[in-house]
Structure 1
Amino acid sequence: MTFISVHKDWRHFKYLFGSISHRMLRFINKYLKFCQDTTRGEKNVEDSQ
């Protein structure tokens, strides 16, 4: 195991981890926005009644 190979693996791991965490963040943001929209919708329904 040379330092260069470790560095290459680290870059690959960082890229993999970055893309996964990026997808997770986007999914969480979508989920939170969806929750906000549904609660807003329920409030609107209550107001209209």
Structure 2
Amino acid sequence: MENNEAIQAKEILLLDDIYTTGATLHLAAEALINEGAKSVSSLTIFR
């Protein structure tokens, strides 16, 4: 990521419309944590 200052030490909520395998949310959360996010949570509408 180029501008990690925007996410450093932030609590981030990922929103997704459909949860199937969870791979997309997992990879996104992992990338955000690796760039300095304090925490990452997720919310999905349908499973």
Larger radius of gyration: 1
What TM-score, normalized to structure 2? 0.36
Structure 1 or 2: more strand by fraction: 2
What TM-score, normalized to structure 1? 0.34
